[in-house]
Amino acid sequence: MVEALKQQVYLANMELVQKNMVIYTWGNVSGIDRDQGLVVIKPSGIAYEDLKAEDMVVLNLEGEVVEGDLKPSSDTATHIALYRAYPSIGGIVHTHSVYGVTFAQAGIDIPPLGTTHADYFHGVIPCTRNLTEEEIAEAYEENTGRVIIDTIGDKDPLEIPGIVVKNHGPFAWGNDPSEAVYNGVVLEKIAEMAYRTLTLNPLATRAPQYLLDKHYYRKHGAKAYYGQ
């Protein structure tokens, strides 16, 4: 049905292990086939060393399994909420990476302190608000997606391709599963740099906006000139 996408999603999940982003079963990657309206995601609770491409679960945008014998990730409803809200997103990753979770547990945005941040994220990497008791009790994973959407607001999600969910952890996304993982790895490194900077100098402030803009737009703008 979507064999090529299943392979892409499998490889993207395995890259999380290669980049030291996950241990045990902590994390998941998904991808979407927009033409067919189908989402492929890692199965729930399966150790990475036991995963195979054929284990990936295929669902429609109503969250119904259409192919696969295993249960999909428990975070599936969050992924689907984001796919439904943002047609530009082609892949999503969620991890419990250490520095991303550190900012999530602290309830703090990741500030743009330097050019490494600005090369990939145009502004702060935001932290969501707390979910209410009612939101957690009723449709928790879907409401996690909704609070991410509320936090992004009217921004282009590909300009800020990641977020930290309060008390939970980071989600990141991209044009496809591979790019989502790339952005998730970058988010983790940026969070580590920010944490170390603020530890060394708690009074450190965000870089000047003109410097942040220069670095973001030289790589992503209409007149971008970074790379070949």
Residues 99 and 193: beta-carbon distance below 8 Å: no
Quick check: is 216 catalytic?
no
Annotated catalytic residue, options 48, 119, 140, 217: 119
Quickly list DSSP for the chain. --HHHHHHHHHHHHHHHHTT---TT--EEEEEETTTTEEEEPBTT--GGG--GGG-EEEETTS-EEE-SSPBPTTHHHHHHHHHH-TT--EEEE---HHHHHHHHHT--B---SHHHHTT-SS-B-BPPPPPHHHHHSSHHHHHHHHHHHHHTTS-TTTS-EEEETTTEEEEEESSHHHHHHHHHHHHHHHHHHHHHHHH-TT--PPPHHHHHHHHHHHHSTT-----
Quick check: is 119 catalytic?
yes
Q: Show which residues are catalytic.
A: 119, 226
